[in-house]
């Protein structure tokens, strides 16, 4: 017997179907509410609203659970790679050896940008934020491949997805080099995904960057841990754009813009800037914690809190462990890591954070790893975007392949002026 929900409305009693997900989540299907009652629901920030059903990622915020296509993030972090996990998210199953080799080869074959695109990079000022460059160059890339400009077609999809995943890495590296006046370093077909990215970032024409396995592994893990996260702000943006049947590259460019905000993917850069300010001020973190609790301070403990996780973000736990491992391998003693750990300890003992269930999220420690690798803070959210690309692509594919999927068009409750009529200019007096 399927579950239902009753809604008493004026003299009406409405029975609405209840949808139960494979992990036991319950949702009231209100898709006929307006038609039956003239009412809509209102949910600022969508905290109580499901925009879709999805088979890609499951999060249990109370228990701190994250699963990609049913696989626990802890297992994937330990045993998988970013490219293998990207395949899993996009196609729904872990790849066979042949499938993984084919996918990996596609990434290798599509790592170069059209040579004319160098002119676009040269036109950006050195101070241009790499997220601005990334979002614009994703769309620019598709202009060189007309088939990429087309909406979803099953026969084109895999090549489009591979080109996007592969080229965002090259775009990111080029923007880093261009901002510093360094010559462009072309990818090497002998390098796998993350190693090639580090090569394009840090090698010089006269000397290849030394690829330490621990560094490659740490960055690959950062990409993997960021690969998808249910209907977060940027993924919902990608789905919103995909619902109009725009092409994959347009959706990804929109996702980059949504991710940029400091409340979302921009938080990793904001965390390091926060830690650096605390370090410079000689504060041991206590003053900052006090400010973060004071609403009038305009400060928040960046990298803390989450709309869904009311427990420790499982990704933060993995990244924190990785910080200790990588910094000891690289013989780095980063005072910002000590400050971060002190902030975490102080916050998790403080009733303000405990009562609001504010814990470290994925952004709290990730910047420490990227800093140790030599990636500058303005590139942190670009790294997040590279990691999130498979999740956006998987959601684009899911909505494109859903039979009868409709354009996303939320309603609103209008609270502006009621009807009034045009007043000629000469009759308008300045209202007091
Ligand atoms: C990501 O959605 C995803 O899945 C995102 C993400 C992904 O992988 O895609 O996980 C990636 O975006 C992680 C979040 C990164 N952002 C930050 O770290 C920025 C700092 N965090 C916050 O601004 C906040 O916690 C959010 C934006 C993450 C969540 O905001 P909500 O759910 O809208 O919560 P809220 O702002 O309504 O806060 C509830 C209360 C408020 O206090 P009261 O009004 O109850 O007194 O908690 C307070 C807030 O002031 N609060 C904080 C705080 N976060 C919330 N107070 C101090 N410091 C903080 N960080």
Tell whether ligand 1 has an atom less than 6 A from the beta carbon of residue 232: yes
Tell whether ligand 1 has an atom less than 6 A from the beta carbon of residue 310: no
> Residue 9 Cα, ligand 1 centroid: separation in angstroms?
34
Average pLDDT over residues 406-420: 96
Tell me the C-alpha distance between 400 and 238, whole Å: 12
Tell whether ligand 1 has an atom less than 6 A from the beta carbon of residue 354: no
Task: Give me the pLDDT at residue 162, please.
Answer: 97
Rg (CA), the chain: 24
> Residue 103 Cα, ligand 1 centroid: separation in angstroms?
36
Question: Tokens in use for 100?
Answer: 């993984």
> Where residue 362 falls among pLDDT bands split at 50, 70, 90?
very high
Average pLDDT over residues 277-289: 93
Average pLDDT over residues 385-406: 96
| Atom 2 of ligand 1, nearest CA residue | 232
3-state secondary structure of 83: helix
> Where residue 430 falls among pLDDT bands split at 50, 70, 90?
confident
What pLDDT digit, counting tens, does each position of 126-159 carry?
A: 999 999 999 999 999 999 988 777 899 999 999 9
Task: Give me the pLDDT at residue 432, please.
Answer: 60
| Atom 20 of ligand 1, nearest CA residue | 302
Question: Is the CB of residue 185 less than 8 Å from the CB of residue 177?
Answer: yes
* pLDDT score of 431 more than 80: no
Active-site position among 220, 228, 313, 363: 363
Burial of 261 per CB tally in 10 Å (0-12, 13-18, 19+) = middle
Tell whether ligand 1 has an atom less than 6 A from the beta carbon of residue 231: no
Task: Give me the pLDDT at residue 147, please.
Answer: 77
| Atom 8 of ligand 1, nearest CA residue | 229
Tell whether ligand 1 has an atom less than 6 A from the beta carbon of residue 304: yes
CB atoms within 10 A of CB 66: 27
What pLDDT digit, counting tens, does each position of 39-68 carry?
A: 999 999 999 999 999 999 999 999 999 999
Q: What secondary structure does DSSP assign to 366-418, as a single string? A: HHHHHHHHT--GGGHHHHHHHHHHHHHHHHHHHHHHSTT-----------S--
* pLDDT score of 82 more than 90: yes
State the closest ligand 1 atom to the C-alpha of 307, by its place in the atom list counted from 1: 32
* Residues in contact with 50: Cβ distance below 8 Å, sequence separation at least 6, in sequence order: 27, 231
Average pLDDT across the chain, whole number:
96
Tell whether ligand 1 has an atom less than 6 A from the beta carbon of residue 305: yes
Of 80, 275, 306, 271, the closest CA to residue 193 belongs to: 80
Active-site position among 228, 229, 306, 313: 306
> Residue 67 Cα, ligand 1 centroid: separation in angstroms?
21
> Residue 258 Cα, ligand 1 centroid: separation in angstroms?
15
What pLDDT digit, counting tens, does each position of 157-190 carry?
A: 999 999 999 999 999 999 999 999 999 999 999 9
**DSSP state at residue 154:** H
Tell whether ligand 1 has an atom less than 6 A from the beta carbon of residue 303: yes
> Where residue 243 falls among pLDDT bands split at 50, 70, 90?
very high
Tell whether ligand 1 has an atom less than 6 A from the beta carbon of residue 306: yes
State the closest ligand 1 atom to the C-alpha of 235, by its place in the atom list counted from 1: 9
Tell me the C-alpha distance between 238 and 251, whole Å: 5
Tell me the C-alpha distance between 279 and 53, whole Å: 44
Tell me the C-alpha distance between 356 and 168, whole Å: 37
Q: For a substitution probing ligand 1, which of 268, 291, 305 has the most ligand atoms within 8 Å of its CB?
A: 305
Tell me the C-alpha distance between 196 and 170, whole Å: 9
Average pLDDT over residues 382-404: 97
Q: Is 306 noted as a catalytic residue in this protein?
A: yes
> Where residue 284 falls among pLDDT bands split at 50, 70, 90?
confident
Tell whether ligand 1 has an atom less than 6 A from the beta carbon of residue 362: yes
**Helix locations, 80-212, DSSP H:** 82-91, 97-109, 117-123, 130-143, 154-179, 193-202
Q: For a substitution probing ligand 1, which of 306, 319, 346, 384 has the most ligand atoms within 8 Å of its CB?
A: 306
Tell whether ligand 1 has an atom less than 6 A from the beta carbon of residue 264: yes
| Atom 47 of ligand 1, nearest CA residue | 356
């Amino acid at each position: 017997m399927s579950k239902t929900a009753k809604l008493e409305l004026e003299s009406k009693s409405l029975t609405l179907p209840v949808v139960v997900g494979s992990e036991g989540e319950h949702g009231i299907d209100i898709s006929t509410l307006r038609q039956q009652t003239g009412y809509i629901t209102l949910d600022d920030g969508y905290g109580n609203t499901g925009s879709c059903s999805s088979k890609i990622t499951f999060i249990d915020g109370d228990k701190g659970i994250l699963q990609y296509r049913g696989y626990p993030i802890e297992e994937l972090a330990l045993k998988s790679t970013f490219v293998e996990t990207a395949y899993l998210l996009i196609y729904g199953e872990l790849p066979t050896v042949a499938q993984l080799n084919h996918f990996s080869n596609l990434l290798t074959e599509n790592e170069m940008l059209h040579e004319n695109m160098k002119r676009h990079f040269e036109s950006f000022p050195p101070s241009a934020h790499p997220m601005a460059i990334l979002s614009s160059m994703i769309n620019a890339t598709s202009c060189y491949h007309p088939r990429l400009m087309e909406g979803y077609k099953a026969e084109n999809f895999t090549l489009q997805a591979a080109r996007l995943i592969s080229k965002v890495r090259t775009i990111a590296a080029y923007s880093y080099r261009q901002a510093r006046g360094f010559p462009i370093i072309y990818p090497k077909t002998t390098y796998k995904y993350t190693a090639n990215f580090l090569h394009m970032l840090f090698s010089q024409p006269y000397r290849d960057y030394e690829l330490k396995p621990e560094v490659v592994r740490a960055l690959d893990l950062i990409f993997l841990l960021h690969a998808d996260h249910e209907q977060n702000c940027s993924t919902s943006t990608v789905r919103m754009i995909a619902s109009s049947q725009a092409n994959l590259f347009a959706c990804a460019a929109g996702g980059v813009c949504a991710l940029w905000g400091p409340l979302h993917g921009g938080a990793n850069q904001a965390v390091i800037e926060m830690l650096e300010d605390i370090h410079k001020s000689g504060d041991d973190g206590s003053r900052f914690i006090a400010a973060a609790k004071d609403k009038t301070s305009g400060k928040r403990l960046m990298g803390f809190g989450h709309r869904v996780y009311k427990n420790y973000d499982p990704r933060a736990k993995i990244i924190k462990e990785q910080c200790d491992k990588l910094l000891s391998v690289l013989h780095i003693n980063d005072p910002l890591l000590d400050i971060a750990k002190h902030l975490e300890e102080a916050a998790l003992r403080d009733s303000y954070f405990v009562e609001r269930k504010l814990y470290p999220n994925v952004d709290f420690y990730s910047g420490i790893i990227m800093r140790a690798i030599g990636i500058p803070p303005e590139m942190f959210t670009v790294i997040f975007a590279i990691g999130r690309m498979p999740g956006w692509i998987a959601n684009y594919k899911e909505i494109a392949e859903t039979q009868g999927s409709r354009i996303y068009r939320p309603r609103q409750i209008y609270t502006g002026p009621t009807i009034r009529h045009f007043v000629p200019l000469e009759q308008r007096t300045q209202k007091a």
